[in-house]
Structure 1
Amino acid sequence: MLCRPGFARAEDYFDPAALELSSPQQKTADLHYFATQGGQQPGTYPVSIWVNGQAFGQSNITFVEQNDKLTPVLTAAQLAEYGVNVSAFSSFDNLHEGETFTRIGQYIPDATSQFDFSAQRLNLSIPQAAMNVQSRGYVDPARWDDGIPAAFVDYTLSGSQTEQSTHNGHSSFLNLRSGINLGPWRLRNMSSMQYDTTRRWHSLSTYLQRDVISLKSQLRMGDTYTSGEIFDSVQFRGAQLMSNDEMLPDSLRGFAPVIRGVAHSNAKVTVSQHGYVIYETYVSPGAFAIKDLYPTAQSGDLEVTVKESDGSERTFTQPFASVPFMLREGRIKYSLSAGRFHSGQDQSRSPTFIQSTLFYGLPAEFTLYGGTQLAEDYHALALGVGHNLGELGSLGADVTLADTTALSGKRYSGHSLRAQYQKSFAEAGTSFSLASYRYSSSGFYDFSEAMMLESQYGLIDNKRTRQEIAVTQELGDAGNLSLSAYSQDYWHSQSSDKTLHAGFYSAWKGISWGVGYYYTKSSSHNDPDRSWSFNINIPLGGMLAGSSVSYTTSSDNHGYTSHQVAMYGSVPTNPNLNYSVQQGYASQGQGSNSGASLDYHGGYGETQLGYRRDRDSSQITWGASGSIVAHPHGITLGQSLGDSFAIVRAPGAANVAIENGSNLHTDWRGYAVVPTLTAYHKNFITLDTQSMTSDTDVEQFGATVIPGGSAVVEANYMTHIGHRVLFTLHDHQGLVPFGASAQLADDKTAATGMVADGGTVYLSGMPDDGTLEVRWNDAGVAHRCTLPFHIAATEQDAVKRVDGKCLSQRGL
Structure 2
Amino acid sequence: MSLPKATPFRLALLSLSIAFALGGHGEAFASVSTEAIQFNTDVLDVEDKKNINLDHFSRAGYVMPGTYSLALKVNDDALPEVKIPFYVPDNDPQGSVPCLSPEITAQLGLTADSLKKLTWWHDDQCLNLESLPGMQVRGDLSTSSLYVSIPQAYMEYTAPNWDPPSRWDEGIAAILLDYNINGNTYRPHNKGHNTYTLNGNGVAGVNLGAWRFRADWQGRLNHATGSTQAVNRDLQWNRFYAYRALPALGAKLILGEDYLNSNMFDSFRFIGASLRSDLNMLPPNLRGYAPEVTGIAQSNATVTISQQGRVIYTEQVAPGPFRIQNLSDAISGTLDVKIEEQDGTVQEYQLDTANLPYLTRPGQIQYKLAMGQPNNVNRDKEGDNFITGELSWGVNNGWSLFSGLIGSKNYQAISAGIGRDLLAFGALSFDVTQSFARLAGENTINGGSYRVSYAKRFDAIDSQIQFAGYRFSERDFMSMSDFLQAAKTGIRYGGSKELYTISLSKNFRDIGMSVYLNYNHQTYWDRPENNYYSLTLSKYFDVGAIKNVSVNLSANRSMYNGVTDDSVYLSTSFPLSNGANMGYSLNSSRYDTVNRVTYHDRINERTNYQLGVGSNRKGASGTAYLTHQGDTARVSANASYANNQYTAFGLSATGGITLTAEGGGVHRMSVPGGTRLLVDTDGIANVPVKGFGAPVTTNVFGKAVVGDMSSYYRSKAQIDLNALPDDVDAQQSVVQVTLTEGAVGYREFAVVAGQKAMTVLRLPDGSYPPFGAQILNAKGQSTGIVGDSGSAYISGIEPNSLMTIQWGDDDGCQVAFPESIDINNPSLLLQCTPLTAKQLAQR
The amino acid that maps onto 1:646 is: L
Match of 2:452 in 1: 419
Residue 651, structure 1, aligned to residue 682, structure 2? yes
Which residue is equivalent to 1:599?
Answer: 627
Residues 168-567 of structure 1 mapped to structure 2, 5 A cutoff: 168-197=194-223, 198-250=232-284, 252-264=286-298, 267-283=301-317, 287-292=320-325, 294=327, 298-308=331-341, 311-344=344-377, 349-453=382-486, 455-456=488-489, 458-478=491-511, 479-493=513-527, 495-508=528-541, 509-522=547-560, 524-525=561-562, 527-542=563-578, 545=579, 547-556=580-589, 560-567=592-599
Deviations 1:581-613 (A, max 9, x none): 1112223xx332211233222121122222212
Aligned mates of 2:317, 2:712 — CA distance in 1: 37
Preserved contact between residue 681 and residue 751 of structure 2 (Cα < 8 Å) = yes
Shift of 1:396: 1.1
255-264 vs 32-41, which deviates more? 32-41
Aligned to 2:669: 640
Partner of 2:701: 669
Taking the aligned partners of 1:181 and 1:212, their CA distance within structure 2 comes to: 15
- 1:11, 1:306 → 2: CA distance? 69
Cα–Cα, structure 1 residues 799 and 117, in superposed 2: closer, same or farther, change >3 Å?
Answer: farther
Contact 1:53–1:123, Cα closer than 8 Å, also in 2? no
1:502-540 deviation digits (Å, cap 9, x = unpaired): 342211242221223332212x22x53344332112222
Partner of 2:820, secondary structure, is: coil
Distance 1:387 1:409 in 2: 40
Gaps of 5+ in 1: 1-8
AA at the equivalent of 1:217: A
Alignment partner of 1:162 is 2:190: no
Secondary structure at 1:464 match in 2: strand
Q: Report Cα offsets for 1:55-108 as digits up to 9, x if no partner.
A: 455444456799999864243745564345696599854746535478x5x544
Contact 2:681 2:687 in 1 (8 A): no
Matched to 1:584, the amino acid is G
Deviation at 1:368, TM superposition (A): 1.0
CA contact (8 A) 2:305 2:313 kept: yes
Deviation at 1:497, TM superposition (A): 0.6
Q: Give the 3 Å change call, closer, same or farther, for CA 497–670 of structure 1 in structure 2.
A: same
- Alignment match of 2:747 (pick from 704, 712, 715): 715
Q: SS where residue 740 of structure 2 aligns?
A: strand
Matches within 5 A, 1:570-719: 570-571=602-603, 574-587=604-617, 590-614=618-642, 615-642=644-671, 643-660=674-691, 661-719=693-751
* Cα pair 1:653 1:692 within 8 Å, conserved: no
Q: Which amino acid aligns with 1:597?
A: Y
- CA separation of 1:507/1:759 partners in 2, compared to 1, >3 Å: closer, same or farther? same
Q: Given the superposition, is the C-alpha separation of residues 729 and 553 from structure 1 closer, same or farther in structure 2, using an over 3 Å criterion? A: closer
What residue number does 1:5 align with?
Answer: none
- 501-510 vs 290-299, which moves further: 290-299
Q: Describe the shift of the 1:413–1:72 C-alpha distance in structure 2 as closer, same or farther (beyond 3 A).
A: same
Worse overlay, 359-368 or 750-759: 750-759
CA distance in 1, matches of 2:317, 2:212: 36
CA contact (8 A) 2:757 2:823 kept: no
Tell me, in whole angstroms, the C-alpha distance in 1 between the residues paired with 2:331 and 2:761: 67
Match of 2:770 among 709, 715, 738: 738
Distance 1:680 1:97, change over 3 A: farther
Aligned-pair distance for 1:714? 0.5
| Residue deviations 1:491-510 (CA, integer Å, cap 9, x gap) | 133x1111222342211242
| SS of aligned partner of 2:185 | strand
Instruction: Determine the C-alpha separation between the residues in 2 that align with 1:807 and 1:311.
Output: 78
Please give the secondary structure, in 1, of the residue aligned with 2:461.
Answer: coil
> 1:153 aligned to 177, 182, 190, which one?
177
Task: Give 1:803's aligned amino acid.
Answer: L
8 Å contact kept, 2:161–2:715: no
SS of residue paired to 2:659: strand
Deviation of the 1:727 alpha carbon: 5.1
Paired with 1:265 and 1:150, the residues of 2 have a C-alpha distance of 40
CA shift in 2, pair 1:11/1:407, >3 Å: closer
TM-score normalized by the length of structure 1: 0.87
- Report the AA paired with residue 371 of structure 1: G
Q: Alpha-carbon deviation of 1:763?
A: 4.0
Displacement of 1:131 after TM fit?
4.3
- Measured in 1, the distance between the counterparts of 2:786 and 2:321 equals 66
Q: What is the Cα-based RMSD across aligned positions, in Å?
A: 3.5
Does the C-alpha gap of structure 1 residues 305 and 90 become closer, same or farther in structure 2, counting only changes over 3 Å? Answer: closer
Deviation of the 1:419 alpha carbon? 1.0
Is the contact made by 2:63 and 2:139 (CA closer than 8 Å) also made in structure 1?
Answer: no
Q: Give the C-alpha shift of residue 169 in structure 1.
A: 0.9
Separation in structure 2 between the aligned mates of residue 54 and residue 296 of structure 1, nearest angstrom: 27
Matched, 1:751 2:768: no
Amino acid across the alignment from 2:293: I
Greater Cα offset, 180-189 or 498-507: 498-507
Secondary structure, counterpart of 1:453 in structure 2: helix
The aligned amino acid for 1:697 is D
CA distance in 2, matches of 1:220, 1:97: 41
Q: Distance in 2 between matches of 1:18 and 1:607?
A: 62
Shift in alpha-carbon separation, 1:263–1:245, aligned structure 2, 3 A: closer
Deviation, 1:448, is 0.7
Contact 2:401 2:417 (8 Å CA) reproduced: yes
Counterpart amino acid of 1:205?
A: R
Q: What residue identity is the alignment partner of 1:31? A: L
Q: 1:166 to 1:538 in 2, by over 3 A?
A: same
Q: TM-score, length-normalised on structure 2?
A: 0.84
What amino acid does structure 1 have at the position aligned with 2:556? Answer: Y
> Do the aligned partners of residues 453 and 559 (structure 1) sit closer, same or farther apart at CA in structure 2, a change above 3 Å counting?
closer
SS at match of 1:317: strand
Deviation at 1:713, TM superposition (A): 0.7
Q: 1:768 deviation in Å?
A: 2.6
Structure with greater strand share of residues = 1
Paired residues, what number?
784
SS of structure 2 residue aligned to 1:769: coil
Indicate the larger mover: 510-519 or 730-739. 730-739
The whole-number CA distance in structure 2 between the counterparts of 1:270 and 1:90 is 53
8 A contact 1:240–1:337 mirrored in 2: yes
Tell me how far 1:20 sits from its aligned partner.
8.2
Output the CA distance in 2 between the equivalents of 1:314 and 1:784.
Answer: 76
Tell me the residue number matched to 2:31: none
Write the letter of the residue equivalent to 2:195.
G
2:448 match: secondary structure: strand
Amino acid at match of 1:608: S
SS state of the match for residue 273, structure 2? Answer: strand
- Unaligned runs of at least 5 residues, structure 2: 1-22, 27-36, 224-231, 542-546
**Local SS of the residue matching 2:400:** strand
Q: Distance in 2 between matches of 1:310 and 1:129?
A: 64
TM-superposed CA distance for 1:460, in Å, is 1.0
Q: CA deviation at 1:289?
A: 1.8
TM superposition shift of 1:410: 4.3
2:820 to 790, 793, 805: 793
- What is the letter of the counterpart of residue 613 of structure 1? Y
The match for 1:142 among 159, 166, 176 is: 166
Shift, 1:237, TM fit: 1.3
